[in-house]
Amino acid sequence: MTLLELNNVSVHYGRIQAIKDMSFTVEEGEIVSLIGANGAGKTTTMKTISGLLNPSSGSIRFAGEDITKMKAHIRVVQGISQAPEGRGIFPGMTVMENLDMGAYGRKDRSGMAADIDRVFDLFPRLLERQKQLGGTMSGGEQQMLAIGRALMSNPKLLLLDEPSMGLAPQFIRQIFKIITEINSQGTTVLLVEQNANQALARAHRAFVLETGEITHSGTGKELLANPAIKEAYLGVG
């Protein structure tokens, strides 16, 4: 079943067009990666799906429903959750308060308790650091917190904007392993990355974004093997 569908979506910042007529789908249960260089429109795409930005034309459907005009805070309740670029940890809140923020729109206490157990299972480090202020944690720990917090709304679709940004290599491998695990537990993942290697290796399908347009698409393996992509994004000639 198609979970997310973008139809000819364009997004403008003032007069500048950041996304041009973009169309793609995410099927339920997939990991889909969007890769591209700085300024290709990756974050704009994510913000448009989560509702922080409004498309100037085109439509977005989620779980069969048109959400083009739906407000961002309602999309969270509908099942779209985003871990933003730069992690967006609330520095003055503790780890536990940050996680609670992820469940802000929820009222089902038993479901929330189950999800907090799930998050602590995935990230035992967060359990140890419950009372620490978010702003005092390392980059890797903050990324774990950002993903854990995004899971606290029990999303159908998890949006991850550059989860590997600024992390040491061993952390990057660990984060991607956990993303695969989250996906195997039944959460669909849409991932945006500059670190194309891991993003393509872990993805069922992937798209390459250049100056606001999709230029390549295929399975993760196909794109990994594509010479043009190897040269441009994988650092090998």
Partner 1 sequence: MLPSLLASMPMDNDWISFDVPSLIENFWSATFDGLTFGSIYALVALGYTLVYGVLNLINFAHSEVFIMGCFGVWFTLSALNFGPSAPHLGFWAIVGNLILALVVGMIVSALTAVIVERVAYRPLRRRNAPRLAFLITAIGVSFSIQYLLYLWRGPSPERALTMFHPTPIFDVFGTIIDSQQIVIVVAAVIMMIVIDLFISRSRTGRGIRAVAQDPDTATLMGVNKERIIMTTFIIGGILAGAAALFYTMKIPSGVQYNGGFILGIKAFAAAVLGGIGNVRGALVGGLLLGLIGNYGQILLGNSQWTDVVAFLVLVLVLILRPQGVLGSSLGRSKA
Binding site for partner 1 (CB under 8 A): 50-52, 71-74, 76-77, 81-82, 84, 88, 90-94, 97, 100-102, 104-106, 133, 149, 153
Pick 29 or 88: Cβ nearer partner 1: 88
Element (H, E) at 207: strand 205-210
Contacts of 228 (CB under 8 A, 6+ apart): 216
> Which lies closer to partner 1 via its Cβ, residue 91 or residue 227?
91
Tally of CB atoms within 10 A around 146 = 24
DSSP 133: B
Under 8 Å between Cβ of 79 and 42: no
- Which residue number, 48 or 198, has a Cβ lying nearer to partner 1? 48
Nearer to partner 1, 51 or 220 (CB): 51
Minimum distance between the CB of residue 75 and partner 1, rounded to whole angstroms?
Answer: 9
Between 71 and 170, whose beta carbon lies closer to partner 1? Answer: 71
Q: What is the DSSP string of 147-203?
A: HHHHHTT--SEEEEE-TTTT--HHHHHHHHHHHHHHHHTT-EEEEEES-HHHHHHH-
Scan for tokens 């695990």, then name that residue: 181
* Cα 158 from Cα 147, distance rounded (Å): 9
Q: Give least dist CB 235 to partner 1, A.
A: 31
In whole angstroms, how close is the CB of 128 to partner 1 at the nearest point?
18
Residue 39 C-beta: closest distance to partner 1, Å: 19
Residue 136 DSSP one-character state: G
Would you say 160 and 147 are in contact if contact means Cβ atoms under 8 Å apart?
yes
| Least spacing, CB of residue 115 vs partner 1, in Å | 14
